[in-house]
Amino acid sequence: MSGTAMRASQKDFENAMNQVKLLKKDPGNEVKLKLYALYKQATEGSCTMPKPGVFDLVNKAKWDAWNALGSLPKETARQNYVELVSSLTSASQPSSQVEPGADRKPSAYETLEVTSEDGITKIMFNRPTKKNAITTQMYHEIMLALKAAGKDDSSVTVLTGNGDYYSSGNDLTNFTDLPPGGPEEKAKNSAILLRDFIDCFIDFPKPLIAVVNGPAVGISVTTLGLCDAVYATDRATFHTPFSHLGQSPEGCSSYTFPKIMGPSKATEMLIFGKKLTAREACAQGLVTEVFPDSTFQKEVWTRLKAYAKLPPNAMRISKEIMRSREKEKLRAINVEECNVLQERWLSDECMNAVMNFLSRKAKL
Ligand SMILES: CCCCC/C=C/C(=O)SCCNC(=O)CCNC(=O)[C@H](O)C(C)(C)COP(=O)(O)OP(=O)(O)OC[C@H]1O[C@@H](n2cnc3c(N)ncnc32)[C@H](O)[C@@H]1OP(=O)(O)O
């Protein structure tokens, strides 16, 4: 969003929430209380909570800040929140020439480790104990990291996972965090999040390489069809169990997979949930090359470092010319897939599958 005259959209608001987490300097308690109050007003409306006791100092300060906003409309609170965050982020940037992410510490992200060296920005999924399952926060952080990497001075960007998995896909506990509008609102918000997330892959301007260090499930597989090269350890597997989960394909895979591997192989993966080995995925064109697990990291990074020395503008322009004809089509497919999924998430088939996983009755 640019300019104060424009009204902040839900997307601006969500971006602002993520920017707050990335502030390099603590804005101080007064500003934090203001942010809290505006957030609550924007999401829940006027304060109707009972006033905390005098000894409950922290909650009383929060309550006071929220209550002070009176009947400020939700939209205005959202706008004020976005503007306040915008003023904080610009104040913490010494110059507009600073590349986003260039001086960001790895710890700026909670669910990722992002590093930049040898011309390569590496975005590593960093929830190894949860098999790098992607939470709502992690979707937002990946989007931020991709946007920053797209503008930084690295030549190529790499997605990879920490631990034994590349990623087990969507974190199924995302479904349990229901907003006031219940499952319908949740499904709508998730469809918006998914659309924006996938758009970041479609629009990514420089070579985007997946270094698949272990098994990949669901959305971490479908997004491979939007990457420019995929290197996998022979330990990796590729699994899109959408029917088992009462869901349908996303990440433009309903288009990219039949195109990459032919319709019948795509059917086995996307409809019947067939899990592919790395070598099978390579034979079908989803994976570029497979390496023995014992030498995977060494071989892949040696190669990537050499690629990253190539002239970056030439690589960017070549990607643009290879991909630009498809961009509009991919965006439209993304929207269509999200609309279908929004309905699927409300189906008994999907809700039962998620409940079965969460109650430990089912694993893939
Ligand atoms: C908003 C956008 C939506 C986009 C739509 C996306 C769709 C998809 O991505 S569909 C795919 C969803 N993923 C799954 O269904 C995978 C579910 N996980 C499993 O089946 C298994 O965990 C496993 C096969 C991936 C690994 O099994 P195992 O080696 O036995 O390890 P654990 O199950 O013990 O896992 C360790 C730990 O991690 C938690 N976990 C793993 N994956 C997920 C996940 N996707 N969602 C939530 N939690 C996950 C697992 O529950 C364990 O947690 P603790 O018990 O607390 O240790």
Determine the Cα–Cα distance for residues 193 and 283; give it in Å rounded to an integer.
32
Write down the pLDDT at residue 93: 55
Q: For ligand 1, is residue 36 a contact (CB within 6 Å)?
A: no
- Measured distance CA(45)–CA(60) in Å, rounded: 18
Cα of 216 vs centre of ligand 1, distance in Å, is 10
- What are the residues facing 350 on neighbouring strands? none
CATH of region 10-91, choose from 3.90.920.10, 3.40.980.10, 1.20.80.10, 2.40.170.20 = 1.20.80.10
pLDDT of residue 94: 42
Distance 214 CA to ligand 1 centre (A): 14
Number of helices (H) and strands (E), helices first, in the chain?
Answer: 13, 9
- Asked if residue 307 has its Cβ within 6 Å of ligand 1, the reply is no
Report the DSSP pairing between strands 156-161 and 208-212: parallel
Length of the chain: 364
- What whole-number distance in Å separates Cα of residue 256 and Cα of residue 242? 16
Residue 161 Cα to ligand 1 middle (Å)? 14
Distance 255 CA to ligand 1 centre (A): 25
Report whether residue 143 contacts ligand 1, using a CB cutoff of 6 Å.
no
pLDDT confidence of residue 4? 37
For residue 143, report the distance from its CA to the centre of ligand 1, in Å: 21
Please give the number of the atom of ligand 1 that sits closest to the Cα of 218: 9
Give the separation between CA 214 and CA 145, rounded to whole angstroms: 21
This prediction's pTM: 0.76
What pairing do the DSSP bridges indicate for beta strands 229-233 and 289-291?
parallel
pLDDT at 91: 65
pLDDT at 211: 98
| Gap between the Cα atoms of 193 and 124, Å rounded | 20
Q: What pLDDT score does 63 carry?
A: 86
- Superfamily designation of domain 112-363: 2-enoyl-CoA Hydratase; Chain A, domain 1 (3.90.226.10)
Q: Which atom of ligand 1 sits closest to the CA of residue 353?
A: 15
**Closest to 287 measured CA to CA, from 327, 344, 235, 350:** 235
What atom of ligand 1 comes closest to residue 171's alpha carbon?
46
User: Which residue is listed with tokens 């330990």?
Assistant: 235
Domain ranges for the chain: 10-91, 112-363
Asked if residue 251 has its Cβ within 6 Å of ligand 1, the reply is no
Our mutation pick for probing the ligand 1 site, out of 166, 168, 177, 192, counting the most ligand atoms within 8 A of Cβ, is 168
Per-residue pLDDT of the chain (364 residues; tens, 9 = 90+): 433 346 788 888 888 888 887 877 778 777 788 899 899 999 999 999 888 876 566 777 788 889 888 888 888 889 888 888 888 876 655 433 333 344 444 458 999 999 999 999 999 999 999 999 999 999 999 999 999 999 999 999 999 999 999 999 999 999 888 899 999 999 999 999 999 999 999 999 999 999 999 999 999 999 999 999 999 999 999 999 999 999 999 999 999 999 999 999 999 999 999 999 999 999 999 999 999 999 999 999 999 999 999 999 999 999 999 999 999 999 999 999 999 999 999 999 999 999 998 887 666 7
Is residue 245 in contact with ligand 1, taking CB distance under 6 Å? yes
Ligand 1 centroid–CA 364 distance in Å is 8
How far is ligand 1, taken at its centre, from the CA of residue 173, in Å?
9
Q: Is the CB–ligand 1 distance for residue 188 below 6 Å?
A: no
Residue nearest to atom 55 of ligand 1 (CA): 130
